[in-house]
Structure 1
Amino acid sequence: MCANGQRFAIGEPEAPKQGKPLYRLPELVRAPKEAPVWIVEGEKCADALAALGLVATTSGACSSAAAADWSPLKGRKVILWPDHDDPGARYAEDVVSALRGRVAGCELVEVAALGLPKHGDCVNWLAANEGATARDLQALPRFEPEPETELEPSAPEPLRRPVPPAEPYPLAELGELLAPAAAAIRRVIQAPDAIIGGSLLAAASLATQAQADVHLDGRTYPLSLWLLSVAESGERKSAVDAEAMQAAREYEKELAKAYAEAADSHTRDLAEWEARRDGAKAEARKKSGQGLAEKLNIIGPKPEPPLLPRVTAADFTAEGLFKLLSVGRPTIGVFTDEAALVFGGHGMAKETVMRTAGTLCKLWDRGELDRVRSGDGASKLYGRRFALHLLAQPVIAERALSDDVLAGQGFLARCLLGWPEGTAGTRLYRSENLRDDVALQRLLDRLLYLHRLPLPLDPGEKQELSPRALSLSREAMELWCRLHDTVEGHCGPGGRFAQVKPWASKTPEQALRIAGVLTLLEDPSAQMIDASTLERAAEVSLWHLNEARRLVGTAEVSREVRDAEALLAWAHATQRRHLHSGEVLRLGPSRIREREAFSLAIGELERAGWAERIEGGMFLDGARRRHVWRIVPAEEGR
């Protein structure tokens, strides 16, 4: 505590750490043991008190307490008089922390900061009380020490159920092309394995999804994969995504160049067609329209514009996606390292999220879209493919995972979830250029080759895909049946996957899709999935299922707990050791700037041990505050 007048009990001594000597140490050592030692902030304050005949010392400026050697205070009575500001409050707590457990027999009493102006110190007090003596200072109002019955405080409890750590991501199961490339990215960029693996797997899905489907007992499973990968800012999501998507970006540039040439040619063809049509109409008008149909037949249909050269998009609505797949290529992906663009965009707004989620689910299931509008009637698209990889920060992912519509519509259950532990703080710089890595370049060459393959279109169609069939070998079929039955057996009441049945029910299909992607990636002309590939795909799909089991539900916490987390994060970020209600309502997080919300949030922090109400209040921010709480620093709560 810093200015609340409470006594701090100092524990049993430890071996003192050598540090910076205290200021005015010779006078302190020579002073009688019964003389109290005044601790202030800064040499000027210590000199001012020493001039009155008091024993005074300091470690220096407000951030110096931890570096000082406080052992000379052993067995002394100590009076701590902090400056009246936030740095002074922190200095007082740092002094107490430095003394606790190291200096035996200290009896620490704080002087109330009554009468000090904001940012004031003892020098200001002496100036305002001209002629004051040591006796006057000794007579300042102080809180008398309470009997020493303090117990060791317990650590704060978490505000929500702790999430167990993620299992290691099975990078080795990604196969002979993806796994070595992933190892290279991990070695140089040093991002979490699941971010790397998910990014590469999604890029491979985008490159292969148009070429084949898995066929099993009359059912068709596209190779489109959806992934939702979560990591804090600074975990190098963007750097990994940039490497994984190189081939797609390069191919998109090639398409754009070809589109520009095709658009010029289309403009000329359209002008000629319109001129011939208009001429035929003009001539037919002279004959009351006679022969117009025949001439229009000869002229032929209106030239079709080239397809829009889009391979990926970062933001979308259901309407926009339908239009893009109507006039663009039939295979596309939404890839973004800012998932807030999707979850916070118009397509996921409250009034549109249901339609968007339903639209996307149809694409994942069958590659179909339909739309009925009063203005342009009904239309339906077949043979489309849509891959998805959203890289999200935790706050965005939590909102998505707790969204009832996204969960209820099945959008989230179709996503392979990944939320790995971060690597920040362990990433020493490596002087290595990934452009020179043979494994990564080999993968990028294969992805670019797959993108450049002609699209397998339905006869007579320009945009409707007709991917070839991938079947399962006999051994692969047996393995898949075991996977299906094992997962299903854990979905009943009390089963391992009972709480994540929507994800579990999709896992066997996810394994087929992943196996198809890995098969085409390693052999673009393959017709069959072998058992080895399916086994690797099963391992990856089960890892994602276990991630869903680990994560789903952690976002389903009350508004009060979320507000408490926001309040605690704000207090820690602004290094506040004390809070009073007026300050929070004026300056705190916007979500708790109402008294009721604040009361519920601070109550959660009190119950968890992160906040301690100071009975009777204290002098803080230039005034006496009735409602004050001490906040446990982040480092003490670990």
Structure 2
Amino acid sequence: MNAVPKMETPQAGARRLFARDIAEGFAPVALHCYADADGQPLFYRPRLKHPDGRKVIKPMRLDGLRYAMGEPPAPKEGKPLYRLPELLADTAAPVWIVEGESCADALAKAGNVATTSGGASSADGMDWTPLRGRSVILWPDHDGPGAEYADKVAGRLRALGCDVRRIDVAALNLPDGGDVVDWLAANPGGDLDTLPMLAAPAVRVEGFAPEPLRRPVPPPEPYPLAELGPVLQPAAESLRRVIQAPDAVCGASVLAAASLAAQALADVEIDGRTVPLSLWMLTVAESGERKSAVDAEAMRAARDHEKALAKSHEVELEAHAAELAEWEARCTDAKTKAKKSQGAGLARALQDIGPAPPAPLLPRVTVADFTAEGLAKLLAAGWPTVGAFTDEAALVFGGHGMTKETVTRTAGTLCKLWDSGTLDRVRAMDGATKLHGRRMALHLLAQPVIAERALSDDVLSGQGFLARCLLAWPQSTAGTRPYKAESLRHDAALGRMAHRLGELHREPLPLAEGERQELQPRPLHLSAKAKAAWVQLHDAVEAGMTPGGQFATVKPWASKTPEQVLRIAGVLSLLESTGAQEIDAATIGRAAELALWHLNEAARLAGTAELSPEVRDAEALLGWCHDTGRTLLYSRDALRLGPGRIRERETFTRAMGELERAGWAEPVEGGAVLDGRHRRHVWRIAPAPEGG
């Protein structure tokens, strides 16, 4: 009869895993258990100590029937606090927070509720929410890392509504690095209630009247979904209703997807000028605004088309391999015959055979991360119509193509592609590449920090890359999105849009004679009334660019708006009729409403990205103070622990100057005692506004 395998005990696991350390003289002194709220062990941290003072503290977890080094994967909310069941068993008692499990155990042995996240660098990965609203006392080790640990934990706990106090360890006569265990050993039976606490000086907190650090940005107007027409409007409304993303995210996403489907089929022609139908969008939204969910639905037809192309490509590759083998055999045969006649007739024979059969086009319709060089290679070897679509614009703005060294040529290359469908690249390694008749639609969904960085880039603005983008920065819908028990899988409006865009994707490409990749889209003309309406809009926008005019601050975007109207109108026309030859006045009117909304967005946001470095630094410093609960700030505190961008004294001084001028900071005359010492340069910080 087979013996039933036994589960290894934690003690046996520790002896086995730390056998080498034990052989080197380390002695096991404790086995700390981290458990869940129900008391079930999650992992252990054995503690070993050497006679020379060295320590070994490493986690181990149960892996099957034996223990293995390391912790189990942390829950989404963070790792559990040490002694969590004890914390939850007495929610009325104050909680002592210390560094290290031994310190927590020592306080618990004395009858206190105590916990820790581990060592001085462990605060970030923990779940502190079990302490929400409780009274806590911080007792850090007597050293620099201990002070930083206490600062970090205090900020997190204040954000959870905790009443936070802190032991003045400098007044305990502890050695450098001294901790709770050291104090208890030196003061057996000592009264914890008499321990000195750090206290902020009595400085008034009323009387602040801060002004905004930047020009207040007015709220956006509602996105004109009704102007998207009978195909796109219902689909965008379904996305808004179920996913509950901002209306501009939904509207811009479906319009960009439609541009990708239509851009290869026609161009708008007006007075001898050709205007492609490619649209570029830059939509800004915070993380959590469900950009990805909207993009996935809007791009359903494009991705289905790409899958179909990939399947066809497999068949085409097999056929190409056979054709190539036949061509190579014919060339070999011709060379063999010519060899017998000392090469006579070889050139003519090879000419009759012709060039090698071209490889099938790469089945790529969409890209997310791209450079100008990569795009040139894709358009040279793949389909002549592509879309650059990503819900993480950081992949583009932070990628190789947008580095300080490459951003100029990337922006210049992309602008030519938008203007005329031409891509011109010259590289020492790859030679010259000049491609005509190409189209690229683009939709970059960006978080605010990425968008601000891009909008403040002189090259991207100066070369016109951003001016070719239709901007949208809608208000957040977070907090107003009750759960919707509704699936979009069979939504009729989205199904109709996907079907219609799929039809456009599958239309035969209009190619130049003798070419297999150079597009030659048919012309779309404006009716007489449509042209008159467009000219009127053109002149009105032009007048708005005069000094003091409505669009004077956004001339780059305004100068492109009349062309954007033509592009949008062309896309909307093809959506309603694949064979459309003319754009009517009603469609121009709808396109104008959409383009003007995006232009007004640019005007609304003007100046947002033009903040001085001092103001940006001041915003970062103020945000850090609010996030960490600091109502009093001294310079050394900010230089050691504050945001990385202000950790130089000159930068910090300029940022504080901005905060003082705006009324967010006020010097404390004579300084104050903070963190156990008198600080000469202290400011009191205005609290964040309600809901801010």
Interval of TM-score (by shorter of Structure 1 and Structure 2): 0.7 to 0.9
* CA distance 1:90–1:541, shift in 2 (3 Å): closer
- Report whether the alignment pairs 1:156 with 2:204: no
* CA distance 1:95–1:265, shift in 2 (3 Å): closer
Q: How far apart are 1:582 and its partner, in Å?
A: 2.5
Which letter does structure 2 place at the counterpart of 1:592?
Answer: I
Q: Which residue is 2:412 aligned to?
A: 358
Q: Which residue is 1:6 aligned to?
A: none
Aligned to 2:250, the other structure's residue is in SS state helix
Contact 2:201 2:672 in 1 (8 A): no
Q: Which residue is 1:447 aligned to?
A: 501
Aligned to 2:220, the other structure's residue is in SS state coil
Query: How far apart are the structure 2 equivalents of 1:579 and 1:369?
Result: 54
Query: How far apart are the structure 1 equivalents of 2:160 and 2:515?
Result: 74
* CA distance 1:272–1:614, shift in 2 (3 Å): same
Q: Which residue is 2:256 aligned to?
A: 202
- Report whether the alignment pairs 1:436 with 2:495: no
- Report whether the alignment pairs 1:378 with 2:437: no
**Map of 1:201-600 to 2, 5 A cutoff?**
201-375=255-429, 377-600=431-654
Q: How far apart are 1:289 and its partner, in Å?
A: 0.8
* CA distance 1:445–1:64, shift in 2 (3 Å): closer
| CA RMSD between the two structures | 3.8
Aligned to 2:274, the other structure's residue is in SS state strand
**Map of 1:15-34 to 2, 5 A cutoff?**
none
Instruction: Flag structure 2 segments of 5+ consecutive residues without an equivalent.
Output: 1-91, 94-110, 113-129, 141-149
Contact 1:471 1:527 in 2 (8 A): yes
Contact 2:467 2:560 in 1 (8 A): yes
* CA distance 1:207–1:88, shift in 2 (3 Å): closer
Query: How far apart are the structure 2 equivalents of 1:374 and 1:91?
Result: 58
Aligned to 1:282, the other structure's residue is in SS state helix
Which letter does structure 1 place at the counterpart of 2:284?
Answer: V
Given candidates 220, 233, 236, the residue that maps to 1:166 is: 220
Q: Which residue is 2:688 aligned to?
A: 634
Q: How far apart are 1:82 and its partner, in Å?
A: 11
Q: How far apart are 1:375 and its partner, in Å?
A: 4.8
Aligned to 1:210, the other structure's residue is in SS state coil
* CA distance 1:89–1:196, shift in 2 (3 Å): closer
Aligned to 2:281, the other structure's residue is in SS state strand
- Report whether the alignment pairs 1:180 with 2:231: no
Q: How far apart are 1:268 and its partner, in Å?
A: 2.0
Contact 1:281 1:289 in 2 (8 A): yes
TM-score, normalised relative to structure 2: 0.73
Of 177-186 and 593-602, more deviation after overlay is shown by 593-602
Contact 1:613 1:628 in 2 (8 A): yes
Of 547-556 and 571-580, more deviation after overlay is shown by 571-580
Identity score, percent: 64
Contact 1:413 1:506 in 2 (8 A): yes
Contact 2:201 2:673 in 1 (8 A): no
Query: How far apart are the structure 1 equivalents of 2:270 and 2:250?
Result: 30
* CA distance 1:409–1:291, shift in 2 (3 Å): same
Query: How far apart are the structure 2 equivalents of 1:344 and 1:541?
Result: 28
The one-character-per-residue Cα deviations of 1:421-444 (angstroms, maximum 9, x if unpaired) are 010000000000011211110001
Contact 1:311 1:333 in 2 (8 A): yes
Contact 2:205 2:686 in 1 (8 A): no
Which letter does structure 1 place at the counterpart of 2:233?
Answer: A
The one-character-per-residue Cα deviations of 1:279-334 (angstroms, maximum 9, x if unpaired) are 21132122111111232133222110001111011111111111111111100110
Contact 2:534 2:562 in 1 (8 A): yes
Given candidates 593, 609, 621, the residue that maps to 2:663 is: 609
Aligned to 1:334, the other structure's residue is in SS state strand
The one-character-per-residue Cα deviations of 1:437-465 (angstroms, maximum 9, x if unpaired) are 11110001001111011101011111010
Q: How far apart are 1:546 and its partner, in Å?
A: 0.5
Query: How far apart are the structure 1 equivalents of 2:587 and 2:255?
Result: 14
Q: How far apart are 1:144 and its partner, in Å?
A: 10
Q: How far apart are 1:551 and its partner, in Å?
A: 1.1
Query: How far apart are the structure 2 equivalents of 1:95 and 1:442?
Result: 50
Aligned to 1:199, the other structure's residue is in SS state helix
The one-character-per-residue Cα deviations of 1:448-498 (angstroms, maximum 9, x if unpaired) are 111011101011111010111111111111111110111111111111111
The one-character-per-residue Cα deviations of 1:76-97 (angstroms, maximum 9, x if unpaired) are xxxxx99996688999999999
Query: How far apart are the structure 2 equivalents of 1:425 and 1:353?
Result: 38
Query: How far apart are the structure 2 equivalents of 1:243 and 1:634?
Result: 38
Q: How far apart are 1:370 and its partner, in Å?
A: 1.7
Contact 1:418 1:544 in 2 (8 A): yes
Query: How far apart are the structure 2 equivalents of 1:62 and 1:261?
Result: 62
Contact 2:292 2:391 in 1 (8 A): yes
Q: How far apart are 1:63 and its partner, in Å?
A: 6.2
* CA distance 1:329–1:621, shift in 2 (3 Å): same
* CA distance 1:534–1:282, shift in 2 (3 Å): same
Aligned to 2:356, the other structure's residue is in SS state coil
Query: How far apart are the structure 2 equivalents of 1:374 and 1:555?
Result: 36
Q: How far apart are 1:346 and its partner, in Å?
A: 1.1
Query: How far apart are the structure 1 equivalents of 2:477 and 2:445?
Result: 16
Q: How far apart are 1:119 and its partner, in Å?
A: 13
Q: Which residue is 2:3 aligned to?
A: none
Q: How far apart are 1:368 and its partner, in Å?
A: 0.7
- Report whether the alignment pairs 1:190 with 2:190: no
Contact 2:155 2:629 in 1 (8 A): no
Count of matched residue positions in the alignment of Structure 1 and Structure 2: 555
Contact 2:268 2:277 in 1 (8 A): yes
Query: How far apart are the structure 2 equivalents of 1:467 and 1:93?
Result: 58
Q: How far apart are 1:561 and its partner, in Å?
A: 1.0
Q: How far apart are 1:521 and its partner, in Å?
A: 0.8
Contact 1:519 1:529 in 2 (8 A): yes
Of 539-548 and 267-276, more deviation after overlay is shown by 267-276
Aligned to 1:436, the other structure's residue is in SS state coil
TM-score, normalised relative to structure 1: 0.79
Of 287-296 and 564-573, more deviation after overlay is shown by 564-573
Aligned to 2:489, the other structure's residue is in SS state helix
Return the structure number with greater relative CO, CA threshold 8 A, min gap 6: 1
* CA distance 1:559–1:349, shift in 2 (3 Å): same
Query: How far apart are the structure 1 equivalents of 2:511 and 2:200?
Result: 85
Of 267-276 and 447-456, more deviation after overlay is shown by 267-276
Query: How far apart are the structure 1 equivalents of 2:448 and 2:200?
Result: 45
